Chains A and B, each alone.
Chain A
Amino acid sequence: MNDRRVRFTLNGEPREVSVKPNDLLLNVIRDDEKLTGTKYGCGIGECGACTVHIDGRPVLACLELAVAAEGREIVTIEGLAGNGGALDPLQEAFLDNGAVQCGFCTPGMIMMGRALLDETPEPSEAEVRDYLRGTLCRCTGYASIVQSVIDAGAKEAAAD
């Protein structure tokens, strides 16, 4: 199969990469761009560990072809912290609430939670549980994660 050139921005940086038509975005992010915060958990859209933002919307990178990234803006977990390494309020909330155990689901959870907060500031518990229902965690039982999203929403609303 012929390689194709694909141009997109990745965490704010313009990128131009050569990909096969069937290359998955997940593999390009992890193997070519060496951004390993985006995880492989199942490869078939069952667990949410590979969630990234494309043009501000949460997308499962394991189900997205890399060629579909043409001209789009991709943000991974590595791109969430601000310049100088300041953590996103949601990242801080995860640490405050002990919402990180093994941490393997954490990037996907935070990307999904961030997308919700961008769409719906100050979400209710029901909204959090519904929006993040496809992202699996086997360690925490989810309570600390739900609390973190709610807390970050409240903190951002208070700062506005």
Chain B
Amino acid sequence: MSASDFQSVGTETWRQDGIAKVTGAEQYAPDISVDRMWFGRVLRSPHAHARIVEIDTSAAEALGAVCLTFADIPKVKYNERIVSTPPCLYRDRYVLADKPRHVGEAIAGIAAPTEALAEKALRAIRVEYEPLQTIITMDQAMRDGAAPIHDTIRLMDDDIPIEHNIAVARTIEVGDIDRGFAESDIVIERKFKTNRIYHAQMETKTVLCRPEVDGGLTVWASTQSIHNTRILLGEIYAIPLHKLNVKKAALGGSFGSSIQMNSVTPICVGLALKSGRPVKIVSTREEDMYDHVRYPSEITLKLGLKADGALIAGHMRADIDIGAHNIQAYPFLGCMGGFWASLYTLPNLKYEGRAVYTNKTPSCAMQGFGAPQTTFAVECLMDEIAADLGLDPVQYKLAHYVGLGGTFWGQGPASKCIIRSDGVPELLKVGSEKIGWKNRPKAGSGSGRYRRGIGMARGFHTSGVGHPKTSGAEMIDYSGAIVKVNEDGTVDLVQSLMDHGGGTNDAIAKIVAEEIGVPAQMVGISPVDTRTTLYDVSTHATRGVYAGGAAALKAARKVRQMLLDQAGRVLDVLPESLVIEPDHELGQGVIHCPNLADRRITVGALAKHMQINSLGTIAAAESLRQVNCPPAYVSYFLELEVDTHTGQIKTRRAVLGSDCGTVVNPKLAAGQLVGGLSKGHGYALIEDNHWDPETGELASKGFWVDGKTPSMSESPLLDDVETHFAHTFEPTGPFGAKGLGEAAGNPAVAAFANAVHNAIGVRFYEVPITPEKVLAALAAKQGPGAPARPEEPVADEPRLDPAPAGE
């Protein structure tokens, strides 16, 4: 089957929330206000590591504010991301810090009738700190005698001591690497380092909480899972879930930073409970930058090969700086190992990962969850090996990648599946042709100021965390959906699954329309909350369409059968003789018997018949866990231009390919790839964060421009970016679909690094590849004595650097 066989799946439509979003009507958490609402602010630690000797809130309270301190909060140690199962859930935090462990950590909350008063009261709180040793690097953290950032953490019912600030370590072994390396003809080892970038989602973390008269709460929050937010708040504040309602608000970007319940959410709830008032907290951009960053990595990768390049053994050691809290280091380390094992066939491998506490902003998931880091190391080293062996990297990778029939580790050792759809050969063939791979220059052979180079990388992300086992899972992974037919034949899709903006909810509405047999525009996405929906774990791990869509498909299938059964009675034919098809002119689904032309009724007429004859509503509520986690492959072919005078790197052409199975929303799917390139560009070339080694403050001081989010003016031109999709069909996915979102950026960093190598003949093992690093590398390459700049000041060709307008 292909997209052309479908009526709704694969068609172009305006996204259902589109008109609201282009007119400003869409409601994100910061846009929601309620009557009698107070404003919340958070007092944050100026110290990276300290003991709180005393907090005096009397002056703030005298101003009319309500204060929340450690003394007020339930002493429940929790992990804010309850996607992992309890045996894998490392709990190290309270609603407010028992001691601050990073600059910006929440010490106290304030609520007041106006924002100005809340701010004034915040400044009136007096805190006496006793500063402790500030630990900024992993080396410092693991040194003997280093101050413990956490003495113990909770795991199940136990207090687990933390030694040398190592939050968790994980080893994965397959085969026997000692034997493997002994049998290798060539051994190569390289060290790689990736940066600690900021998510830079447009919406800062926000929460509004309204206490209800029955002792319950209504909460609106930035979140990727309304149900997990509810469950966790229920556990912390001992509120029964039927009295705790979390409402879905549109999410203004997240990229992984709201898989966890964000730190302001339980503070706001505490303030609302104490004050008896609705309270709203909107994080400032500075606060947000101190709240979450991507996991950085230091990877040592050693590969053993036969003389022909066949991979025999591999050893990867990865150290991850998790900052002040362990949000999800255990699954992260597992994912890195699993993604590595899934890139190329390695009969003997050993992965050793360590996650290390430091006094910095906590790290958390960001688009790709270990895949961008792992893929950077592996794809760069494969490129280097191919070059050393005189092989074409594309052919070399094609010969050894894990594809059809191989095993894919979707989320570490606990979620694996056999690969049943594989678009890699098509992606690499088409990508090679479009970029002109065969004609790429010899690495570093260019001359002149501007040097062009072509590089490629491939990768993937999982589609969800599905697996077949009934116990021993590391992660929770299921979705629910309610599908009901309205009295005019339209359909409500009632599902708690969040859309980050990629069009997940629209894709699922199309899947429901396709299954029932009604036109796509007849399926509406309902505004929802936790009270009226089935559980959904979270929109993460690129599981939205594959797992969430499959749950909705299951409900839609049941609805379709109910429609056929009811129509059979009305039309006096066997249900098995009927089909349902969309009639786009009529704007209805039509149920008819192909053998008897007069037996025909629209879904709307049938639903109306059922209503006026009191025959009931056609609806189904279903939960589903996928038992597979298929890889969504992506390929990057880039042509870059390095300015050897300034060290700046420009993307001149990009060919981005995706194997997401059936493409459900074509333009939005292409948009995911282009967005992946943009974030990949920032990650590979410009973005980073630094913390002052003495004070633990962000060097950017919370200024966003210092985080260097790519802007429109430095992004590649329209004609220079091309997207394409593999013609595959995933047999376990809804109408052949698998994931796409996170995969879109996963090979980006490696592709940039490989293309830079092709351009100037220098390999970079550390990102971002900043202009300073490029110039230093070029100078080192030329040796001492060489002129600081190559003699060729004139631009090779017209360039698009528009003069600043009106200045």
Contact = CB atoms under 8 A, between A and B. Distances in A.
B717 A125 contact: yes
B22 A106 contact: yes
Interface string B231-257: 000000000000000000011111100
A106 B31 CA distance: 15
Do most interface residues of chain A lie in helix, strand or loop, or is the interface mixed?
loop
A143 interface: yes
A138 B712 contact: no
Interface string A93-119: 011111111111111001000000000
Contacts of A145: 712
Contacts, number: 190
A142 B309 CA distance: 40
A95 B19 contact: yes
A108 to B, nearest CB: 9
Interface in B639-679: 665, 667-668, 670-671, 674-679
Interface stretch (B79-87, B460-468, B558-566, B797-805): B797-805
B22 A140 contact: no
Given A44-B285, A140-B678, A143-B715, A103 B671 contact: no
Given A37-B24, A39-B202, A102 B704 contact: no
A107 B674 contact: no
Given A46-B704, A95-B15, A139-B675, A76 B24 contact: yes
Given A41-B202, A102-B500, A135-B712, A140 B671 contact: yes
A130 B718 contact: no
A133 interface: yes
B250 A103 contact: yes
A68 to B, nearest CB: 19
A102 B15 CA distance: 11
Interface residues of B, number: 63
Contact of B800 (A40, A94, A104, A126): A126
Interface string B711-752: 111011110010000000000000000000000000000000
A42 B202 CA distance: 9
A81 B33 CA distance: 24
Interface in B698-719: 703-705, 709, 711-713, 715-718
Contact of A102 (B30, B203, B718): B203
A77 B202 contact: no
B744 to A, nearest CB: 9
A78 interface: yes
Contact of A138 (B14, B679, B721, B803): B679
A77 B204 contact: no
B792 interface: no
Contacts of B802: 126-127, 129-130
B501 interface: yes
A141 interface: yes
Contacts of A147: 718
A72 B252 CA distance: 30
Contacts of B203: 39, 41, 102, 104
Interface residues of A, number: 61
Contacts of A6: none
Contact of A77 (B24, B33, B254, B676): B24
A138 B711 CA distance: 9
Interface string A134-160: 111111111111110000000000000
B743 to A, nearest CB: 15
Nearest to B254: A102
B537 interface: no
A36 B202 contact: no
B447 interface: no
B253 A80 contact: no
Nearest to A111: B24
A115 to B, nearest CB: 12
Given A40-B204, A102-B500, A138 B23 contact: no
B19 A104 contact: no
A130 B202 CA distance: 21
Interface string B197-215: 0011111100000000000
B18 interface: yes
Given A47-B704, A104-B203, A38 B800 contact: no
Contacts of B716: 143
Contacts of A137: 202, 712
A102 B252 contact: yes
Contacts of B250: 102-103
Contacts of A10: none
Contacts of A66: none
Contacts of B59: none
A104 B28 contact: yes
A43 interface: yes
Nearest to B252: A104
B255 A138 contact: yes
A105 B19 contact: no
A126 B798 CA distance: 13
Contacts of B199: 138
Nearest to A110: B22
A132 interface: yes
B160 interface: no
A27 to B, nearest CB: 8
A132 B667 contact: no
17 contacts: A31-B33, A42-B285, A42-B704, A43-B285, A94-B18, A94-B22, A98-B15, A101-B671, A102-B251, A102-B500, A102-B501, A104-B28, A126-B802, A136-B704, A137-B712, A138-B201, A142-B678
Given A87-B23, A102-B252, A143-B674, 11 more contacts: A37-B26, A44-B285, A98-B15, A103-B21, A106-B21, A131-B805, A136-B711, A138-B709, A141-B678, A143-B671, A144-B674
- Top 5 nearest A-B pairs (CB, nearest first) are A37-B24, A102-B501, A104-B252, A103-B21, A141-B678
